[in-house]
Structures are given as structure tokens and as C-alpha cells.
Amino acid sequence: MSSIILKNISKQYYHDSYAVRDLSLEIKHKEFIVLVGPSGCGKSTTLRMIAGLEEITEGSMYIDEREVNSVEAKDRNIAIVFQDYALYPHMNVYNNMAFGLKMKKIKRNEIKDKIEKTTEILDIKNLLYRYPSQLSGGEKQRVALGRAMVKEPKVFLLDEPLSNLDAGLKARMRLEIMELHKKLDATFIYVTHDQTEAMTMADRIAVMKDGLVMQFDTPSNIYNKPDNIFVAKFIGSPQMNVFEVYVQCGKNGVSIVKDGEAVSVNNADTERIKKYSNKKILAGVRPEHIKIHNDNNSAENFLSAKLYIKENLGHEIYYHFNSGKDNSDIIVRTIPEMDVVNNHEYRLWINPEKMHFFDAENGNRI
Ligand SMILES: Nc1ncnc2c1ncn2[C@@H]1O[C@H](COP(=O)(O)OP(=O)(O)OP(=O)(O)O)[C@@H](O)[C@H]1O
């Protein structure tokens, strides 16, 4: 078993600032957890505290219900894979993988067996007698994973392990790490600032900002029910469109009004936004939940907007519109389906079931 509990963990490198603040996470045995967030938000610090490489300033950490605050890194049964692989340059692949086991005084034959089994899983048997300088980025990454695997740890910590690889290799290694997680009886905690990695690999994602966890949830809930405006905008590419709107409650139901144009609200959040009647809130809608129309007569749930640029990705197009007095940006993501011309006015249909609402003061989901 390898459950991990972080209870109100904080880390201060300096007295006047927090790298991590009051962080609490309960991670189950064999879960694949991704910590994601912008640069400097405290992801690596959190990982290093779990590994025992960084002292905890406040709070408690438990691995399998045992408090480990003062347990040394080498006694935690955790392996860490770093972004730069950290292979020993003067040792060949075999010795890189054997080094930690030799330190633990494991018998030669046993080391040989473990390395054989691991290199087979990772398909790197042919590389055993090469030195790190003779390996490609992807091969180095596999060796670094192998070096972690031979230790048979209960917990794998991976700190941006794919960030030095090109796009194609990244996609392949992503699948390999997911396969590896399926095969091994270990908990994985993976740090990245790449939301695609977070969304595709995680059982649960912790989105971080300024040392705080903004939401800890499944990829589906993070995308479809973001807890706050930060998570709403951080996850999703292109990012969610967010507008300042007024709430209008009348005989015909609830609407939000942007620059005089009303969009009726018809989803599970309708009741909750009623208490913001005549007040300003933030309304969010993902680019795939807006449709472009040529029809000028349509009134319900439409905003007027002028197209100013399109980005053609082949299988889909991102259309960038200006709308309203403040020329606010609206991005629409769609498959190529109609001829849409720059500098023309269009009507954009907002799917009333797919809108998100946030408090304008604190950014929390309403
Ligand atoms: N050894 C250190 N001494 C002092 N401050 C540190 C140290 N390591 C990290 N920090 C600070 O702590 C904060 C969190 O850093 P951390 O490396 O955990 O962020 P991160 O989310 O992993 O960033 P990145 O994605 O850029 O690697 C940052 O403000 C950073 O400058």
C-alpha cells in the first residue's frame, strides 16, 4: 500500500514568503496524481517535500498512515525522476541502474535480474552498455525511469519528465508512462505545467497557484466544473471566454446581459445566480460551446461580434472575434464548416446549458 496524506503543509524558504501554503491532499494507493500550475506555484517544492529532499515548515505528512516528517529520503521507499534525468555521465546504463541497488548491498545476481526485467519492460536492453552521452533524449528518459523502477518504490515522483522532448516523443512517452503505471503497484505523483499531460494522464489533478491548491479533482470535473476563474482559464486550450455581465431576473426566467444583448441561462446553476439579480458577475463559456451564425434575425442567446482573425489547424479552426463596446475577445473553436470572412459581423450563439458563472469579487464558482 502507498497512500499519502499531506495535512496543512506549508513551506517557507524565507520568513516573509510561502512557496507552499496550507496544502492538504489525500492521495490513494495506486492513484496517478498530477500537480499542475504556472511557473513558481510550488509544484516542485511539494514533490521535494514528499520525497524528503526538502524540510516541511508546518503541517504533517503521512505515508501509509505513518508520519514521515522527519524520515530521511532514503528511508521513504520513494523514487524520483527529474526533468534533466540526472544520469551519472561516467557510468553506462547498466551501472546507472545498478548504482542505487549496490548502495543498498543487494546481491549481484539479484541486481542483474532486476535490471533485466526492467529493461525488458522499457525496451532498452540494447542500450545497457552505452553511456548517457550516447543516448537520445527519449532513451535517457527511459533509463531514468528504469533507474527508478529497479528500486521497486511504493511511490514514483516525476518532475516534468517530458519537458525536454519534442512533441512526437512527448506524446509517445506519455502513453508509456501511463502503461507503466498500469503495470506497477505504485502511486504516481507527476509535476508538469503542461495541461495536456495533466488532463490525459491523471486520475486526479491538483491545480496550483501561488503555493495554494485551487482545485483537486478528476480531469473531467476540473474541465467541466472549475471551482474558480483561475482553474477555468488555466485548463483548456484555447482558454475559456470570460465576460463581465449583469444578471437579469424576469417573468421569462434568468438572463445575463452583455452590452445590451441578453443570453438566457438554462442550466443547473440558474437558481444560484438569481441572488445576483441586477449585479455584475463573470460568465464563462468554452470556445467549443459557441456557434457562428450568418442569420441577423436570430435574437435569443446571441451576441454580435466581428471576426478579426482565424487560426486554421487543419482539423479545426480557432476564430477570434471582437464584441461589445470594450471590443472584448471571443474565441470560437469549431471544425471547418462554413465560409467565415474577416472583418464581417456575425451572430454568435452561446449554448445556455454550457455556461459557467463566477463571483466578480472573489472569482469563485457561483
Ligand atoms: N531552494 C530554494 N530557495 C529559495 N526559494 C526557492 C527555492 N526553491 C524554490 N523556491 C521558490 O519557491 C517558489 C516555488 O518554487 P517551485 O520550484 O516549487 O515552483 P514550480 O511550480 O515547481 O515552478 P517551475 O514550474 O518553474 O519549476 C518560487 O517562488 C521559487 O522561487
Looking at per-residue confidence, does 263 or 112 come out higher? 112
Note the pLDDT of residue 255.
Answer: 87
Protein residue with least CA distance to atom 28, ligand 1: 40
For residue 168, the CA-to-ligand 1 centroid distance in Å is 29
Is the pLDDT at 282 greater than 90? The verdict is: yes
Question: How far are the Cα atoms of 231, 289, 310, 318, 324 from residue 336, in angstroms, in the given order?
Answer: 28, 15, 11, 9, 25
Q: Residue 18 corresponds to which cell in the numbers above?
A: 510561502
Is the pLDDT at 299 greater than 80? The verdict is: no
Is the pLDDT at 183 greater than 90? The verdict is: no
The average pLDDT across 183-205 equals 94
Contact partners, residue 66, CB within 8 Å, separation at least 6: none
Q: HSE (CB half, 13 Å, CA atoms) of 360?
A: 13
Which helix H or strand E contains 94, and what residues bound it? helix 93-103
Rounded to 10 deg, the angle between the 137-149 and 93-103 helix axes is 20
The average pLDDT across 32-44 equals 96
Q: How confident is residue 201, by pLDDT bands cut at 50, 70 and 90? A: very high
Protein residue with least CA distance to atom 27, ligand 1: 39
Protein residue with least CA distance to atom 10, ligand 1: 19
Note the pLDDT of residue 262.
Answer: 83
For the chain, what is the radius of gyration of the CA atoms? 25
Q: How confident is residue 297, by pLDDT bands cut at 50, 70 and 90? A: low
- β 356-359/280-285 pair status: antiparallel
Is the pLDDT at 54 greater than 70? The verdict is: yes
Note the pLDDT of residue 21.
Answer: 96
**Average model confidence (pLDDT) across the chain:** 90
CB 215 within 8 A of CB 41: no
pLDDT digits (tens, 9 = 90+) for 68-112: 999 998 888 899 988 878 899 999 999 999 998 998 899 999 999
The average pLDDT across 156-169 equals 86
Note the pLDDT of residue 28.
Answer: 96
Which DSSP category does 306 fall into?
A: E
Q: Residue 77 corresponds to which cell in the numbers above?
A: 521507499
pLDDT digits (tens, 9 = 90+) for 309-343: 999 998 899 999 998 777 789 999 998 777 888 88
For residue 41, the CA-to-ligand 1 centroid distance in Å is 7
Alpha carbons 129 and 125: distance in angstroms, whole number: 9
Protein residue with least CA distance to atom 24, ligand 1: 39
Placement of cell 431576473 in the chain: 249
One-character DSSP codes across 208-253: EETTEEEEEE-HHHHHHS-SBHHHHHHSSSSPPEEEEEEEEEETTE
Protein residue with least CA distance to atom 12, ligand 1: 19
The average pLDDT across 352-363 equals 92
Q: How confident is residue 55, by pLDDT bands cut at 50, 70 and 90? A: very high
Placement of cell 532514503 in the chain: 74
| pTM of this structure | 0.91
Q: What are phi and psi of 132, to 5 degrees?
A: -50, -35
Identify the residues whose C-beta falls under 6 Å from ligand 1: 13, 19, 37, 39-45, 193
Note the pLDDT of residue 293.
Answer: 86
Note the pLDDT of residue 265.
Answer: 83
For residue 36, the CA-to-ligand 1 centroid distance in Å is 14
Closest CA to 150 of 178, 130, 174, 128: 128
What's the one-letter identity of residue 51? A
The average pLDDT across 215-225 equals 97
Coil/strand/helix, residue 30: coil
Q: What percent of the chain has pLDDT over 90?
A: 62
How many CB atoms are closer than 10 A to CB 251?
Answer: 4
Question: How far are the Cα atoms of 25, 155, 268 from residue 225, in angstroms, in the given order?
Answer: 19, 29, 11
Alpha carbons 97 and 194: distance in angstroms, whole number: 28
Note the pLDDT of residue 361.
Answer: 95
